[in-house]
A and B are shown apart, each in its own frame.
Chain A
Amino acid sequence: MRVMLQHLAHTRSGDKGNTSNISVIAYRPEFYPYLQQQLTAQRFKDFYAGVVKGDVQRFEIPGLGALNFVAQGALGGGVSRSLCLDNYGKSLASAILAFEVEVPEQLAPSLRGQRTS
Chain B
Amino acid sequence: MKTILRIGAGSAWWGDRIEPARLNAERGDLDYLCFETMAEATISAAQVRSRRDPGFPGYDTYLDDRMQAVLPGCLQRGTKIISNQGWINPNGAAERIVHWLRQLGARGVKVASVGGSLITDRVLSLTDTIMENGKPTSSLADTLVSAEVYLGAEPIVAALQQGAQIVVTGRVADPSIFMAPMMHEFGWDALDHAHLGAGSGIGHLMECGAQVTGGYFSDPGFKDVPRPWDLAFPIAEVQPDGSAVLTKVSGSGGAVNLLTVKEQLLYEVHDPANYITPDVVVDFTTTHLEEVGPDRVSVSHISGKPRTPTLKVSIGCMEGYIGEDMFFYAGPGALRRAELAKRILEERFRIVNLQAEEVRIDFLGLNAIHGAMSPKNQPEPYEVAVRVAARTKTREEAIKVGREVDGMAVSGIAFTGKRVPHQERVREIIGVWSSLVAREKILPTICMYES
Contact = CB atoms under 8 A, between A and B. Distances in A.
Interface stretch (A33-41, A42-50, A100-108): A42-50
Given A50-B371, A63-B285, A80-B430, A12 B272 contact: no
Contacts of B40: 17, 79-80
Given A12-B263, A14-B267, A68-B272, A85 B222 contact: no
Given A80-B319, A84-B369, 9 more contacts: A12-B216, A16-B268, A21-B269, A51-B372, A64-B265, A66-B262, A83-B360, A84-B360, A85-B369
Contacts of B362: 85
Contact of B272 (A61, A65, A78, A80): A61
A80 B322 CA distance: 9
B284 interface: yes
Contacts of B430: 80
A16 B154 CA distance: 24
A80 B373 contact: no
Given A10-B263, A17-B434, A47-B373, A83 B272 contact: no
Contacts of B263: 10, 12, 23, 25
Please provide the 7 A-B residue pairs with the shortest distance between their CB atoms, ordered closest to farther: A50-B372, A14-B268, A23-B266, A83-B389, A83-B360, A12-B263, A113-B222
Interface in A55-81: 57, 59, 61, 63-66, 68, 70, 78-81
Nearest to B289: A64
A47 B265 CA distance: 24
Nearest to B358: A83
Contacts of A86: 369
22 contacts: A12-B264, A14-B266, A14-B267, A17-B40, A23-B262, A23-B266, A23-B269, A50-B372, A61-B266, A63-B285, A64-B265, A66-B262, A68-B270, A70-B270, A78-B431, A79-B41, A79-B432, A80-B41, A83-B322, A85-B364, A85-B368, A112-B222
Contacts of A18: 132
A91 B219 CA distance: 12
A23 B270 contact: no
Contacts of A64: 262, 265-266, 287, 289
A97 to B, nearest CB: 9
B221 interface: yes
Nearest to B385: A85
B372 A49 contact: yes
B64 interface: no
B370 interface: yes
Interface string B102-137: 000000000000000000000000000000100000
A23 B132 CA distance: 22
A28 B373 CA distance: 28
Contacts of A27: 259
A43 to B, nearest CB: 13
Nearest to A112: B222
B419 to A, nearest CB: 16
A117 interface: no
Contacts of A10: 219, 222-223, 259, 263
A91 B374 CA distance: 13
B51 to A, nearest CB: 18
Interface in A86-101: 86, 90-92, 95
A81 B271 CA distance: 25
A79 B259 CA distance: 27
A113 B289 CA distance: 24
Contact of B266 (A19, A68, A91, A114): A68
Interface in B295-337: 319, 322, 324
